[in-house]
């Protein structure tokens, strides 16, 4: 009985190693051409139809094919790729900075960084005091909402800094910026017009002092889509 159990255990290990070698080898090639031209590959996937195999690999990432895990779920190794360990927002996000004439009453911020979802139109505003704080607001937005697919900006120096580019590269985030003096290309500019009208209406309705501009902006971002 011991010999039979040992042979069964060795067979399981060998089969798993073969599958891992197969996945790591084929991940660098085109799955569509390999699976279509050779029907022998289907035997490694329990005879699943080719269409389902193609759809599965299209819906899964290929960045973690070299991560080795144990036989138990508790032995799973965390992926070394940061992009695999962060939940995704699955939409492009436009960002822009606005400046105020007076400091905010709560934290003394003189500017606000806006993040606007291109599909969901979700608005986030965070007060900042310098342009260099853009990197911190970007990290806070990713921590709150998830990693974005593309960052749309106007090409400001703080948004093109080395630190900001390191964050985008680590999380596999694409970036796009509009041309200089072409404000109509900015998606955030169109949404800001709608947001600004609502902020001014709220401040005038409540007869608020100008120092509460940041609180009014964050309130409108929370209720307006």
Q: Which has the minimum average pLDDT: 77-86, 111-120, 185-194?
A: 77-86
Q: Do the strands 93-99 and 150-153 form a parallel or antiparallel pair, or are they unpaired?
A: parallel
Q: What is the pTM of this model?
A: 0.64
Percent of the chain beyond pLDDT 70?
A: 70
DSSP-derived letter for residue 207 is T
Percent of the chain beyond pLDDT 90?
A: 16
The answer to the question of residue 87 being in a domain is no
Residue given tokens 């085109």 in the structure block: 30
- Shared domain check, 102 and 63: no
Residue 19 confidence (pLDDT): 45
- Shared domain check, 121 and 62: no
Report the number of distinct structural domains present in the chain: 2
The answer to the question of residue 163 being in a domain is yes
Mean per-residue pLDDT for 33-40?
Answer: 55
Q: Give the domain extent around 156.
A: 93-223
pLDDT tens readout for residues 74-95: 666 666 677 777 888 889 999 9
Q: Which of 79, 114, 144 is the last residue of a domain?
A: 79
**For residues 96 and 122, is the Cβ–Cβ distance under 8 A?**
no
Residue 74 confidence (pLDDT): 64
- Shared domain check, 151 and 122: yes
Whether pLDDT at 25 is above 50 = no
Mean per-residue pLDDT for 151-161?
Answer: 83
pLDDT tens readout for residues 46-57: 777 888 877 877
Give buried/exposed letters for 83-119 (b at 16+ CB in 10 A, else e): beeeeebebbbbbbbeebeebbeeeebebbbbbbbbe
Tell me the pLDDT band of 137, cut-offs 50, 70 and 90.
Answer: very high
Q: Which of 39, 56, 79 is the last residue of a domain?
A: 79
Bridge-partner residues for 25, per DSSP? none
Distances 47 to 11, 14, 31, 44 between C-alpha atoms, Å: 20, 20, 16, 7
Full DSSP string of 26-38:
HTTS-HHHHHHH-
- Count of alpha carbons within 13 Å of 85, Cβ hemisphere only? 7
Mean per-residue pLDDT for 98-108?
Answer: 88
Whether pLDDT at 172 is above 60 = yes
d(CA 32, CA 56): 11
Task: Considering only CA atoms, give the Rg of the chain.
Answer: 25
């Amino acid at each position: 009985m011991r010999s039979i159990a040992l042979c069964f255990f060795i067979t399981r290990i060998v089969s798993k190693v073969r599958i891992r070698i197969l996945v790591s080898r084929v991940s660098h090639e085109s799955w569509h051409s390999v699976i279509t031209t050779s029907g022998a590959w289907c035997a490694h996937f329990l005879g699943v139809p080719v269409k389902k195999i193609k759809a599965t690999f299209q819906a899964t990432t290929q960045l973690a094919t070299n991560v080795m895990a144990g036989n138990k779920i508790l032995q799973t190794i965390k992926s070394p790729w940061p992009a695999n360990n962060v939940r995704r927002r699955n939409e492009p996000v436009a960002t822009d900075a606005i400046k105020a004439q007076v400091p905010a009453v709560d934290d003394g911020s003189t500017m606000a960084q806006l993040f606007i979802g291109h599909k969901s139109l979700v608005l986030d505003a965070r007060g900042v005091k310098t342009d260099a704080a853009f990197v911190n607001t970007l990290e806070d937005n990713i921590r709150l909402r998830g990693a974005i697919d593309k960052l749309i900006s106007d090409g400001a120096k703080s948004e093109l800094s080395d630190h900001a580019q390191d964050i985008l590269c680590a999380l596999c985030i694409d970036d796009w910026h509009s041309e200089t003096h072409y404000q109509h290309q900015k998606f955030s500019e169109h949404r800001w017009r709608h947001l600004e009208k609502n902020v001014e209406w709220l401040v005038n309705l409540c007869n608020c002092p100008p120092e509460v501009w940041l609180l009014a902006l964050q309130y409108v971002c929370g209720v307006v889509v």
